């Protein structure tokens, strides 16, 4: 409850900061995108991770305001990067309540216009469980988002349960393999089979794949051999503030 009260203030006082985690193309090793992960710079508690406050914000319309700030800030940063010649895609997580919000379409439309983005440079991630929870409404919303030109990804794929008949109707670009399947991919044949099947399913549906939680070169190579297009994880970098990401890019050469 204490957190909920200060969360109201935090939104008013903009105590949030975005971190960005690189997404690397397996074939080329190039940086092709970043996932936005929000943190709360709490005046007393320090940097609070999202799993401590997103669920609280999600209990009310606070998530709508926070989500709008995150979209605005991510797109502002994206337009700065593009102006500086850095071409990449920015992926923003959407919560269940945001996806059900009447404001979402307008928010996305406005932010893309305001920052003069190509809408395809913005990707929105929703988790598999949120997508399948209320599949008919989700489908309608995703179709409208797609009309704006933004790209759509299903996060944590394989951890909820997907209706393949719904999945096939969704206008998606990407599936993100959950890191629980990546962790033991080299030693657990079941995990390897799940990753292979997910990649093959995605490709047959015309979707691209990002693997999460890639921590070793061996996992990266394994996923590349399975045809997974992109990887994200501590092997490359943890999520970083914008300036540190820029330094990371420069150091990589
Ligand atoms: O960065 P970290 O690994 O602690 O993030 C944990 C989880 O918090 C993510 O998997 C994601 O589900 C959630 N999360 C992080 N940033 C955001 C955000 O900007 N919006 C929403 N809705 N969830 C986020
Ligand atoms: O949206 P999602 O819940 O998938 O957010 C990704 C989360 O996973 C973030 O909290 C991020 O800090 C974390 N994470 C990112 N890369 C790695 C990794 O390589 N290993 C582990 N264990 N966690 C990671
Ligand atoms: Mn995500
Ligand atoms: Na995930």
The predicted complex's ipTM stands at 0.95
Taking a 5 Å cut-off on Cβ, the residues next to ion ligand 3 are: 93, 125, 155
Q: Which of 234, 235, 237 to mutate to test the pocket of ligand 2 (most atoms within 8 A of CB)?
A: 234
Cβ atoms of 103 and 64 closer than 8 Å: yes
Whether residue 119 has its Cβ less than 6 Å from ligand 2: no
> What is the Å distance from ligand 2's center to 69 Cα?
22
Cβ atoms of 5 and 226 closer than 8 Å: no
**126 falls in which pLDDT band (50, 70, 90)?**
very high
Cβ atoms of 168 and 134 closer than 8 Å: no
Which CATH code fits 2-252?
Answer: 3.20.20.450
Whether residue 52 has its Cβ less than 6 Å from ligand 2: no
Average pLDDT rounded to a whole number, residues 2-18:
88
* Residue 31 clears pLDDT 90, i.e. is over it: yes
CA nearest neighbour of 57 among 68, 47, 45, 46: 68
pLDDT, position 216: 98
- In this prediction the pTM is 0.96
Q: Which residue has the higher pLDDT, 228 or 162?
A: 228
Burial of 105 (0-12, 13-18, 19+ CB in 10 A): middle
Which residue owns the Cα nearest ligand 2 atom 9? 37
Average pLDDT rounded to a whole number, residues 177-184:
98
Q: What is the pLDDT of residues 146-160, one digit of tens each?
A: 999 999 999 999 998
Mean pLDDT computed over every residue of the chain: 95
Which residue owns the Cα nearest ligand 2 atom 15? 233
pLDDT, position 1: 59
**6 falls in which pLDDT band (50, 70, 90)?**
confident
Whether residue 71 has its Cβ less than 6 Å from ligand 1: no
Q: What is the DSSP string of 88-150?
A: -EEEEE--HHHHH-TTHHHHHHHHHHHTT--GGGEEEEEEHHHHHHTHHHHHHHHHHHHHHT-
**87 falls in which pLDDT band (50, 70, 90)?**
very high
């Amino acid at each position: 409850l204490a957190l909920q009260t200060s969360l109201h203030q935090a939104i008013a006082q903009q105590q949030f900061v975005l971190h960005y985690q690189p997404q690397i193309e397996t074939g080329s090793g190039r940086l092709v995108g970043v996932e936005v992960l929000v943190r709360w710079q709490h005046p007393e508690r320090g940097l609070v991770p999202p799993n401590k406050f997103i669920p609280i914000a999600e209990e009310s319309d606070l998530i709508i305001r926070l989500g709008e700030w995150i979209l605005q800030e991510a797109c502002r940063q994206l337009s700065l990067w593009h102006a500086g010649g850095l071409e990449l895609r920015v992926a923003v997580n959407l919560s269940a309540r945001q996806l059900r919000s009447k404001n979402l379409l307008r928010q996305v439309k406005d932010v893309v216009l305001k920052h003069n983005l190509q809408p395809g440079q913005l990707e929105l991630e929703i988790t598999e469980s949120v997508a399948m929870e209320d599949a008919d409404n989700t489908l309608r919303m995703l179709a409208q988002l797609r009309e704006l030109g933004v790209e759509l990804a299903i996060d944590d794929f394989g951890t909820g349960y997907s209706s393949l008949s719904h999945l096939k109707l969704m206008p998606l670009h990407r599936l993100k393999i959950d890191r629980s399947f990546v962790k033991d991919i080299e030693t657990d044949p079941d995990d390897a089979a799940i990753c292979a099947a997910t990649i093959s399913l995605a490709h047959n549906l015309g979707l691209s794949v990002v693997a999460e939680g890639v921590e070793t070169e061996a996992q990266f190579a394994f996923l590349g051999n399975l045809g997974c297009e992109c990887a994200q994880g501590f092997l490359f970098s943890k999520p970083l503030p914008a300036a540190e990401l820029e330094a990371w890019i420069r150091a990589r050469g």
